A and B are shown apart, each in its own frame.
Chain A
């Protein structure tokens, strides 16, 4: 055993690591660099790209792609998938639209009922998948078709506005309400303060527990950069109309899922199931309940995304939610999520979504042909994943 202590053991079984640090750093920087490249390209090609108005629009578009991506992450982590979220978003948005426009329900009630429908549908789907051990791909592919049909049935295949005759209601405000500038700044200050306090407290606790903590300078730098980011976002938004409500909803969803995946046993279990399901079972993890819960939460996020996407379009049309599932999965994958499960983060998914949303927004601004848009998005997706794989193998 003394011998084992002196001879590093890793060499016996695995080809040992070349110094990993540069590779790892490169991998973490790869996405920000790619995003920067895309932004610089668009900024050069079209001066409007960096205008406050366009960036506000980009934030709103980002909101539903990213919210959905973060939701899908919950089922990708345990090694499942969901192809139905686009159709599901259309359907839940459609139910709310019909209740408001055709039956004259107050918007909050319509949204609540539709949210409940989303929760029930996805909970049921998750339960069906784990109970019968059928691949999520198949079940959600079926659900995608069924939800799409149900959606068209609900809205009668006609355009159904989210509000009656030009009124505004909670539903329509989802993507048209902006926080007053002062409120935005106050919020930014609050967020930075809470972030700083949490980071500092975590550091203190780790130090108290004798665990490895990063250097004080590193911690400060991280808070400083985050604070800059938050403040810059609010300032840019304030130059247009203020911080969009949709973006705040995204922040709420992302924060909730981040806390779940990083700081709750539930999240640990998601990674455990995706990484090695048999070991998860033997570890005493109620795998079926965990996966069903992930689908339940996804259902809620799908509904919220559906409301935002529909409100952004102004009405439920037959195309709301089209291909959104693929954008969501693409965003997760670009952000480093493994489709086999066990790997991925909320931050990565947000980055991936930002890349996808920026591409679409920029190309629309440049009046790129729809045909070309699809091709470019497809190529970028494959390129991003190829790069991730390359960097990971180093």
Chain B
């Protein structure tokens, strides 16, 4: 008997059929992966299954334990044992881990919240999943990966039988992904069913029992994971073959060093103990430098500091275009040809309410300003150029960025960065949470940038991506360089060992 079943679900929005007769079932003790490009209908399916699109707004039926379920709201679905873990974090920053886990269903003693039980229970849950966190830590102090784990524990705390995970590992480093996958395997033995959505197909293949591929709102195929492989899944997702996932073109001539960093030591604030210690590397024109490491190893911080948005320099020397660059600020960096695409595009990259055009030109208004006034015609011409070159899929420059898919939002962020005419481009997780097609476009863009003689620094949690796209890789470990590698030494095991702070020989 299926835990959860969707029969011929059709969900229409004005002008669009988001789901077109999707059928899907989830068995107890199964991890069922949903794959598909952005816009294929995954999120709509989840929202329908979890009551966000209430009964009556769709056609077809949802069955739980073989009985028709009519969810009016998310609460109804939760009562039926369905828990959803969203891509976007839904934690209250100002509350502690325990408070977040029990938010909305706090253990009570009479009219009062029983915090002792809550803390003990939270500690027990964390312990059970081998997550080393103090339940009284404020969530604000956690990294993205840890937050994601708390989110998962929170869902499990509700004794859910059906767990829906939407891109749960988008923000996790390899080690944390392992923790998560272990938790899922553990749940599987307890009869919990999981719907697992991820763009990381390697992960999907390793955890899923069955895979359903959605395309254009329809379920294309459902197959046992062991009867297919990654190219097979991709073929169904895009309806065509993608031969080379990482088409790095290393033929461009390598030029002079554009950015060199020597013994860089940085503290989060003046007087605090340093978070980055004696980091050295160099990027040349036409090169891609990959930076890897576990969550919290200091990858983003390194980039943010060089860009001028984080930390206080304790010691070390940075040279940009051969000139010393002692006291960076974002404005300075952009004027000196150094630009950064941050990992959290909604937080640091975009003005979601504003149109695409506004976002694209925000960092480059100098280029279209004459006698103090923005020349709107010139601006829109420039916007159009990047809009077309990056193949942003939207009706036009006036479309608000908030309504675009992740991949298109990312293109806007990248376009905004490139419009400043940079020589050095920092890309922090540029393919996080975007679909295969958009990823490929990002990789091609990286090739184009280096072919034009620019230097790229690429931070990524996905080792295959890092190995596929970099000309050299620096692995960071706890704020220091764990190892620097040339392409001939690119091997997952060696790189991971460096990230874990071990020498290759010990690994």
Contact = CB atoms under 8 A, between A and B. Distances in A.
A13 B43 contact: yes
A272 B362 contact: yes
Interface string B311-341: 0000000000000000000110111000010
A10 B340 CA distance: 26
B376 interface: yes
Interface string A98-139: 000000000000000000000000000000000000000000
B405 interface: yes
A263 interface: yes
Contact of B340 (A1, A206, A282, A342): A282
A174 B425 CA distance: 56
A255 to B, nearest CB: 13
A6 interface: yes
Contact of A12 (B14, B39, B420): B39
Contact of B39 (A8, A268, A284): A8
A17 B402 CA distance: 12
Contact of B38 (A12, A16, A285): A12
Nearest to B237: A3
A343 interface: yes
Contacts of B406: 13
B374 interface: yes
Interface stretch (B61-69, B108-116, B345-353): B345-353
Nearest to A14: B403
B14 A19 contact: yes
Contacts of B398: 212
A323 interface: no
A282 B309 contact: yes
Nearest to A1: B437
Interface stretch (A160-168, A245-253, A273-281, A378-386): A273-281
A264 B374 contact: yes
Nearest to A286: B331
B177 to A, nearest CB: 23
A48 B159 CA distance: 72
Interface string A1-45: 111111111111111111100000000000000000000000000
Given A2-B238, A8-B39, A206-B377, A14 B402 contact: yes
B14 A283 contact: no
A64 interface: no
A209 B381 contact: yes
A271 interface: yes
Q: List 3 A-B pairs, minimum CB-CB distance, nearest first.
A: A1-B437, A9-B405, A205-B377
Given A3-B237, A206-B376, 4 more contacts: A9-B39, A9-B404, A210-B384, A271-B354
Interface of A: 1-19, 202, 205-206, 208-212, 259, 263-265, 268, 271-272, 275-276, 278-286, 342-343
Interface of B: 13-16, 18, 37-44, 215-217, 237-240, 307, 309, 330-331, 333-335, 340, 342, 347-354, 358, 362-363, 365-366, 369, 372-378, 380-381, 384, 393, 396-398, 402-408, 416, 420, 435-438, 440-441
13 contacts: A4-B393, A8-B16, A9-B404, A9-B405, A206-B380, A209-B378, A209-B381, A211-B384, A211-B397, A212-B398, A282-B349, A283-B330, A285-B363
